[in-house]
Amino acid sequence: MQRVPQITTALVGLTALGTAAFAQEAPPAGSQASVYWDAEAFKASQEALKQEHGGGTTLFVLADRFEYQSGEGSPSLLLEGQGRWGTDENRLWIKSEIDYDLDASRFEEAEVQALWSRPITRYFDVQAGLRHDFEPGPSRTYAALGVQGLAPYWFEVDGSVFLSEDGDLSARFEAEYEFLLTQRLVLQPRTELNFAAEDVPELETRAGLSTAEVGLRLRYEIDRQFAPYVGVNWKASTGETADYARARGEDTETLSFVTGIRVWF
C-alpha cells in the first residue's frame, strides 16, 4: 500500500518531464520543409508545384457546333465556338456564334464576346466583359455579365445578362447534357432561351421570351478531339416577337436536320 504514492509521484514526474520536452521541441510555424531546405530552393519548388497543379497557363479552343442545317427553313451554315487562355484563377474567354443563310447569301447572326473569367465556387466561374453583334443590324455593343459551369447531375449551363450601349437589357440561358450511350457514342440534348426586358423595334424584339431553341445531336467520337454528328434542331420566335416574322411572311418556327463536326484542341 505504501508503494502507491511512490508510483503516483513517479507518473506525475514523468508527465511533467514529457510536457516540458514537448514544449521545447515544438515544431516551428509554417512549412516544415523550410527548416531543412534553402529558402531560395524551397521557393522555386513551391512555384513549380503551383505551375504543375493549376497555376500554369493553358489554351483551349472548342468548335462545339460546326454544322449544316436544312429543313423547313433556308439551308444555313452555323459555327458556334469558344476558347479560353489563362490560369485556373484568371482566364480570357472568347465566344462566337455565326449563322450564314446559304439561300440569301448573307449572315443572319454574327456575334463575338470577350470575357474575363474567375472561379466563384468549385464548379462555377463568373464572367464579365463585352459582346458585339455584327448581325442582325444595326450592329450593337453590350456589357456582359454571367456565370458558366457544371450544375448538379452534370448539366453544363451558361447564363448571361447583357446591357446594350442604348440601355437595352436582355438575357440568355443555355444548357446541355451528355448521355454516354457507349464510350464513343454520345447523345447531347441542348436548349437556348433568349429574353428581352423591353421592346427593341430596330432589332425586331419584344419584351419577354423572344426566341427558344432546342436541339438533339448524336455524335461519334472517332477521336476525343474530333467527332462528327447528326441531329435535329427546333427554333422559334415566341410571344409578340413572332409578330415581326409573320409580318414578313416567314415561319415563326423551323425544324431542321443538322450534320456537322465537333472539334477541340
pLDDT in tens, 231-262: 999 999 998 889 888 888 888 899 999 999 99
Selected residue with higher pLDDT from 123 and 4: 123
CB 28 within 8 A of CB 35: yes
CA angle 155, 161, 167 (to 5 degrees): 170
| Residues forming a β-bridge with 131 | 113, 142
Strands 226-237 and 208-220: antiparallel
CB 118 within 8 A of CB 111: no
Predicted confidence band of residue 50 (pLDDT cuts 50, 70, 90): confident
Rounded to the nearest 5°, which phi and psi values hold at 183?
-70, -15
CB 128 within 8 A of CB 115: yes
CB 186 within 8 A of CB 218: yes
243: enclosing H helix or E strand: helix 242-247
> Exposed, middle or buried: residue 83 (CB in 10 Å: 0-12, 13-18, 19+)?
middle
SS3 (DSSP) at 136 = coil
Residue 205's Cα: distance from chain center in Å?
Answer: 26
pLDDT digits (tens, 9 = 90+) for 204-228: 999 999 999 999 999 999 999 999 9
| Closest C-alpha among 241, 185, 178 to residue 208 | 241
Residue at grid coordinates 479560353: 84
pTM for the model: 0.81
pLDDT at residue 130 tops 80: yes
User: What is the sign of the dihedral through the CA atoms of 118, 124, 128 and 134?
Assistant: positive
